[in-house]
Structure 1
Amino acid sequence: MFERFTKEARATVAGAVAFSQNAGEDSITEEHLLLSLLGQESGRAAFALTALGVTDRRASLEAALGEARRLGGLTKADTEALAGLGIDVGEIVARIEEEHGEGALAEEGRGRRRRSGRRPLTSGAKGVLEGSLRIAVGRGDRSIGGEHLLLALVARPGVVADVLAEHGVSYATVERALYGTGPEGGGEAAAAG
């Protein structure tokens, strides 16, 4: 599949590896892919993110991702659903942090070094790459670019898509920024599959 990646998509994956290394994490996550896309200065994904105003709100986006990590990866929808059952996630996290230190839930999986030096992709990151291939094929594109990675990130349910949605970035808004089309343009259901 990587042979189909454009220079932009390859740079995104390489940047995600660097983010993972710099954070001392043992794997490459969807969050690393997003942070790498946000760091791109050119390409279709960079254009879409700039057009949607996300690059101007990077600090807010990173803070929201950090808060989601602090909550052990629970999405906003997860915490709302639990609140509906009378479970206060904030209180639970506060108790855990009281006992084990601030950021205790965010630290899981961090700091372990791999002997080979190679960091694997998490299942979520693999899903994004696979989704980007499906999106590219569905659009009739011969190669996989940063725009396909971005569309796959917003199509895949989870923390990254939730945080992007909170910042006004959805499959439909990205698709409009990239192609001038809306939800009827296809893709979201096929991409999420």
Structure 2
Amino acid sequence: MFERFSKAARNAVRDGVQIAERDRAARVEAEHLLLGILAQDRTPGTDILVRHAVTTAAAREAIDAARRRGGLSTADAEALTGLGIDVDAVVAAVEHSHGEGALAAAGRRGRPFGWRVPLSAECKRVLQRCLVEVVERGENTIGDEHLLLAILRTGGTAADVLTGFGVTYEVVRDSLTRA
């Protein structure tokens, strides 16, 4: 499948894997692919993200905040707040008892020398969804913009982070149609 990926998309995936390795993550997640896209320069995907003020630092901060909540999305946290549950207070209580980042720590691990970080099931779904996005758009090559569409369509933490910046599936699709 990677033979259909453009150079920018291959680089984004490669950089995402390297970011996961540097983070000592248990698996390569969609969030790492998002950070890998942001590591590229002047690509269709990064151009859309730049227009919405999505920077590597801002995305990393939002990802870290979601991980600190144990991966709970902003929408889920708001829904719980509507039910009278203060998610920040729950996170603070857990961290008080078990240490800072206790809810996020489960995804970290050591890595034996030379062992590659495996792709998570969600990350695999994103990569598979890229092909669907290309076919639906009547295109042949998978670019980083298709990675972005696939991340948004698949859902999860990375999609939630992007939505927080106003980057939705429809916004990206419309931007690509106008381009």
Q: TM-score, normalised by structure 2?
A: 0.92
Q: In structure 2, what is the equivalent of residue 155 of structure 1?
A: 153
Which amino acid in 2 is paired with 1:98?
H
Q: Distance in 2 between matches of 1:144 and 1:161?
A: 19
- Pick from 113, 116, 119: which aligns with 1:118? 116
1:102-181 pair list within 5 angstroms: 102-114=100-112, 117-180=115-178
Alignment RMSD (CA, Å)? 1.7
Which amino acid in 2 is paired with 1:109?
G
**Residue pair 2:35, 2:59 contacting (<8 A) in 1 also:** no
After superposing the two structures, state which structure 1 stretch, 154-163 or 97-106, moved more. Answer: 154-163
**Residue pair 1:5, 1:144 contacting (<8 A) in 2 also:** yes
Q: TM-score, normalised by structure 1?
A: 0.85
Q: In structure 1, what is the equivalent of residue 42 of structure 2?
A: 42
Q: In structure 2, what is the equivalent of residue 184 of structure 1?
A: none
Q: In structure 1, what is the equivalent of residue 82 of structure 2?
A: 84
2:64 counterpart of 1:66: yes
Q: In structure 2, what is the equivalent of residue 93 of structure 1?
A: 91
Q: Distance in 2 between matches of 1:168 and 1:85?
A: 25
Q: In structure 2, what is the equivalent of residue 17 of structure 1?
A: 17
Q: Distance in 2 between matches of 1:13 and 1:135?
A: 16
Q: Distance in 1 between matches of 2:138 and 2:101?
A: 44
Which amino acid in 2 is paired with 1:170?
T
> How many residue pairs get matched?
179
Which amino acid in 1 is paired with 2:144?
G
Q: Distance in 2 between matches of 1:50 and 1:101?
A: 35
Deviation at 1:115, TM superposition (A): 6.5
**Residue pair 2:28, 2:117 contacting (<8 A) in 1 also:** yes
> Unaligned 5+ residue runs, structure 2?
none
Q: Deviations over 1:140-172 (max 9, x none)?
A: 111211110011112222221111111111112
Which amino acid in 2 is paired with 1:32?
H
Specify the SS of the correspondent of 2:75. Answer: helix
Q: Distance in 1 between matches of 2:30 and 2:169?
A: 16
Q: Deviations over 1:108-146 (max 9, x none)?
A: 120232566111111111111111111011111112111
Which amino acid in 2 is paired with 1:18?
Q
Q: Deviations over 1:29-50 (max 9, x none)?
A: 0110000101100322122222
**Residue pair 1:151, 1:174 contacting (<8 A) in 2 also:** yes
Q: Distance in 2 between matches of 1:83 and 1:54?
A: 26
**Residue pair 2:28, 2:118 contacting (<8 A) in 1 also:** yes
